[in-house]
Amino acid sequence: MPQYTSVETAHWALHMPQPNPQFWNNIAAKYALRPVSDVASYEYKLARIGQYLEDGMVVLEMGCGTGSVAIKLAQQFPGVRFVAEDYSEEMIHIAQHKLVNLGLSNLTFHCRCAGQEWQDGKVFDMVIAMNLIHLVPDWQELLEQVIKKLKPGGWWVSSQFCLGEISLAIRPAIGLVLALGQLLGKIPAPIHFLKVQGYRDVIQAKGLLIKYDWHPQGRAKVPFIMAQKPT
């Protein structure tokens, strides 16, 4: 097995230059029914995000899945404009279906791949990425794009399980499981094995200021980070 540096971006053998949305299309219906595994942490993160939202802001969520986070925030903050994107057509179809009867005029869903260049000149007050970064082929390039689209004082918000923190003793077994799962189409590719400190280091190296860094008790591998673009 390869060794990983602190700024780990390890790609397994089945790394694809562009991930295939069909994997997520296939699991979208089951994904939509999956309950939140840690409700207390989920609610805490949303509450923390909400502390920095103000009327008139424009917020982008990348990799929104079936839209639960965007919908909840849009309901709580009607004066904030939310744009939520995912590259899975089925995920977005489910998200849009949820939206039909809610009467939320401040939220739109779009089918779009994270990292695809924005061509419309939009800028954002906040960009949210929940459990996304480890699935993006070039996540550091994506972060650079995000920073360009953030207004001065804007926020990068991410919650991320850092797989690079798993024990060295079980890493070979995890690698085999991932490779087999990807071969069978049961696990997405690529998967990056990020390390917590490495992820923090990259955020700061790109010029963002980490203002809030939290993880659920006993789950140091799952940092929730809010970083601000300097004014």
CATH number at residue 31: 3.40.50.150
In a domain, 11, yes or no: no
In a domain, 76, yes or no: yes
Q: How far apart are CA 221 and CA 139, in angstroms?
A: 18
pLDDT digits (tens, 9 = 90+) for 148-166: 999 999 999 999 888 877 7
In a domain, 174, yes or no: no
pLDDT digits (tens, 9 = 90+) for 84-94: 999 899 999 99
In a domain, 155, yes or no: yes
Q: Mind giving me the DSSP string for 134-201?
A: GGSTTHHHHHHHHHHHEEEEEEEEEE---GGGS-TTTHHHHHHHHHHHHHTTSS-S------HHHHHH
In a domain, 168, yes or no: no
Torsion of CA 59, 164, 10, 116, to 10 degrees: -10
In a domain, 3, yes or no: no
Total-model pTM: 0.85
Host domain of residue 70? 22-161+199-228
Q: What is the pLDDT of residue 186?
A: 76
In a domain, 129, yes or no: yes
For residue 17, say if its preceding peptide bond is cis, omega within 30 degrees of 0: no
Q: Give how many domains the chain has, as a whole number.
A: 1
Helix 139-149 to helix 196-205 angle, to the nearest 10 degrees? 40
